[in-house]
Amino acid sequence: MAEGLTELKLSPSGSAQPQAEDYPRPPLRVVFMGTPDFAAVILRRLLGWPGAQVSCVYTQPDRPSGRSREPRPSPVKLAALERGIEVRQPLNFKDPAEVAALRELGADVLAVAAYGLILPQSVLDAVKLMAINVHASLLPRWRGAAPIQRALEAGDAVTGITIMKMELGLDSGPILLQRALRIADTDHAGVLHDELAEMGADALVEALTRLPQGRLLRLPQDESRVTVAPKLAKDEGRLDWKQEAQVLHNHIRAMHPWPGAYFDWTSPSGKTLTLTIEPGKVGADLPAGPTGKPGPGTILGVVATEQGPHLAIAAQDKAYLTPRVTPQGKKPQDALAFANGYLQNIGQG
């Protein structure tokens, strides 16, 4: 599990977490914009904080989902409806009437987290104080749609949350507050998502506490240090076992739980299967047999580890050890169950 760092970056020296009684009076009038689970966690925290009065929530239109392709509301919409908050779902803000309707809410702050739309300047200017964004990286590193996955894929040791003042550029606004989070070697995208959502919720409350007091920095981002985190595509989950095991480990962690890390494997019976594997760890150097090292993607067998049996798969330099495998069209199986069902004449070691 990721470990929070004790230092609060880019915060006034000696500052502490907001206390229960430390909030703006009267409460800030807030309009919230967000769509996925990450944003829903932040919205729920905001709705439970006495320093904010959320008057309206904007989220993406209901999208077809599942086998039925029935339109389903976003997690943010569900969170808002639970509390009886008005929900608006415009396709965009090209219609001046949409912007006017937002302005008429008379909000002090626009709080945005993973909304899914590029907001025009007219929207950013529709509130009295500031439009604020919660972003899951330490900007200017990993601007864009998939900062959590790209940080893992790159093997970063640290990630975090940035609260920034929004402007027209993609995640390019001045930094108001940052919190750092150390990435453990066992962390995957699902773990970091949940931890950063909670951290983002706390960081937003802290930023909104400081905003009326004038205690927020406005630090310009260093453009020379910008990296971009493009949106994930489903086919990015495909594994290339010709890569080093550590590179594969980072990639597998980044792809879990979606889209999943997978590869095509030919069983001893000659059948080709698509296997999706879960994050595990880098194993030992590959054994050299009479004909040399096993080829990339070869399933070597089951290995006993402190965490239980793992399936060993040959990468370029070492074995990669995974605890669970999902054959296409089947349920997830632990290493021993998979070996019993699919492997022949492959031992344990």
Structure-block tokens of residue 11: 């915060």
* The pLDDT value given to residue 15: 40
* Cβ proximity of 297 and 316 under 8 Å: no
- The model's confidence at residue 288, banded by pLDDT at 50, 70 and 90, is confident
| Nearby residues of 245 by Cβ (< 8 Å), 6 or more positions away | 282, 283, 315, 316, 317, 318, 319, 320
What is residue 118's DSSP assignment? P
* Cβ proximity of 3 and 184 under 8 Å: yes
Written as one letter, the residue type at 47 is L
Instruction: Specify the CATH number for 234-342; select among 3.10.25.10, 3.40.47.10, 3.90.226.10, 3.40.50.2000.
Output: 3.10.25.10
Q: Of 152, 106, 117, 132, which is closest to residue 32 (Cα–Cα)?
A: 132
Phi, psi angle pair for 40, to nearest 5° = -65, -40
Q: What angle do CA 253, 139, 185 make, to 5 degrees?
A: 25
CATH homologous superfamily, domain 3-229? Formyl transferase, N-terminal domain (3.40.50.170)
Share of the chain above pLDDT 70, in %: 92
Label residue 241 exposed, middle or buried (CB < 10 Å: 0-12, 13-18, 19+).
middle
Q: Of 325, 327, 345, which is closest to residue 336 (Cα–Cα)?
A: 325
pLDDT above 80 for 348: no
* Cβ proximity of 106 and 31 under 8 Å: no
- The model's confidence at residue 19, banded by pLDDT at 50, 70 and 90, is low
pLDDT above 60 for 6: no
* The pLDDT value given to residue 81: 97
* Cβ proximity of 15 and 8 under 8 Å: yes
Task: Tell me whether the CATH fold assigned to 3-229 matches the one assigned to 234-342.
Answer: no
* The pLDDT value given to residue 8: 42
Q: Of 45, 46, 11, which is closest to residue 176 (Cα–Cα)?
A: 11
pLDDT above 80 for 5: no
Domain ranges of the chain: 3-229, 234-342
Q: Of 266, 257, 248, which is closest to residue 327 (Cα–Cα)?
A: 266
> Residues 229-243: what's their mean pLDDT?
97
Kindly report, residue by residue over 44-90, the tens digit of the pLDDT.
999 999 999 999 999 999 998 877 788 999 999 999 999 999 999 99
pLDDT above 70 for 3: no
